[in-house]
Amino acid sequence: MKKIRVGVIGQGRSGYNIHVHSLQLLPNKYKVVAVADPLDGRCDDAVNATGCAAYNNYKDMLKRDDLDLVVNASPSHLHVPITLEIMDKGFNVLSEKPFARKAADVDKMIAKSKATGKLLAVYQQSRFAPYFQQVRKVIDSGVLGRIVMVRLAFNGFGRRWDWQTLQEFNAGNLLNTGPHPLDQALQLFGTDTMPKVCCIMDRANTFGDAEDFVKILLRGEGHPAIDLEISSCCAYPTHTYNIDGEFGGLKGSTTHLDWKFYKPKEAPEQHLIREPLPGRKYCSETLKWHEKSWDVPEAKKGLFDTMAKSFYTMLHDSLTKGAPLIVKPEEVRQQIAVIEECHKQNPLSKMT
């Protein structure tokens, strides 16, 4: 099995806590050989953990000729220019989210990938979340019938005052947390068309000028309606998922799901009555409900490690066997186009 030699740009929460850590979970598939970060001492943990080389300037790291993959975990506003530079230097690249701020920038990166022949991937690992995969299994089984609405809520309560609260750094809830639930939402909506978007943004507890409350409605003919919340001012978070279907519904969190449905063949036969019902009655019937539940398997309770291992295994197959990416840049472009439209509808003032 070919071991992929990796260089990681950025050694912050993503570069070190996510990527260096996750790559070490697959020692037969990956080896971290280089890391880069301009802040003094930021590379020390990776060097101590992996024995890799360290660089203060990522440009010096890109002078190497032994890298099979470069992970771009730089600050969000640098994802596009550095990703383009990595491919220009002749390397395959995995970009952290957000992939970009505008859909046109995604088009530039896709074009660069085609021109250079280098693989372009996006770290949208929540596609591999066990709870999301189970939601898809339930929907695909058909027991809920046609899906009418999907509600997603990635909510909590918290104040924030770091660089990821500033618009100048492509920050805010929609670009920080949003790529994960929005990626899931668009998979359920469908990637074949651009949805109609209605969005509300607000600022409540943030110390910066970017939003910390987002409400998005997506709709399109022949597609389920999507209701997505990403709020940092929700003191009573409840369900991650709540799905309305033709024959039943589903609700649940990242660790537990419940769903119930009736079977049309078991339902009482009814027909439309145009005149008032006798005795001023309201429509009433007894349906036989079938109820099921799911709990995350013990082996997959480490959500972040589970998603990371699945994503990086998929990426290894793409790099070594030419297998198609499950998370395609073209699909993520749809996500960025939705995010761009949300920002157009909610032009927030900037700090001076």
Q: Is 151 helix (H, G, I), strand (E, B) or coil?
A: strand
pTM tops 0.75, yes or no: yes
Instruction: Write a three-state SS string for 207-253.
Output: CCCCCCEEEEEEECCCCCEEEEEEECECCCCCCCEEEEECCEEEEEC
Classify residue 325 by its DSSP letter. P
Rounded distance between C-alpha atoms, residue 165 and residue 209, angstroms: 6
Which residue shows structure tokens 């993503």? 14
Rounded distance between C-alpha atoms, residue 307 and residue 184, angstroms: 13
**pLDDT by residue, tens only, the chain of 352 residues:** 699 999 999 999 999 999 999 999 999 999 999 999 999 999 999 999 999 999 999 999 999 999 999 999 999 999 999 999 999 999 999 999 999 999 999 999 999 999 999 999 999 999 999 999 999 999 999 999 999 999 999 999 999 999 999 999 999 999 999 999 999 999 999 998 999 999 999 999 999 999 999 999 999 999 999 999 999 999 999 889 999 999 999 999 999 999 999 999 999 999 998 999 888 889 999 999 999 999 999 888 899 999 999 999 999 999 999 999 999 999 999 999 999 999 999 999 998 7
Classify residue 206 by its DSSP letter. B
Domain boundaries, given as residue ranges, for the chain: 4-123, 127-300+335-345
The domain covering 127-300+335-345 belongs, at the CATH homologous superfamily level, to Dihydrodipicolinate Reductase; domain 2 (3.30.360.10)
Rounded distance between C-alpha atoms, residue 274 and residue 24, angstroms: 67
Rounded distance between C-alpha atoms, residue 150 and residue 185, angstroms: 8
CATH among 3.40.50.720, 3.90.550.10, 3.30.460.80, 3.30.300.130 for 4-123: 3.40.50.720
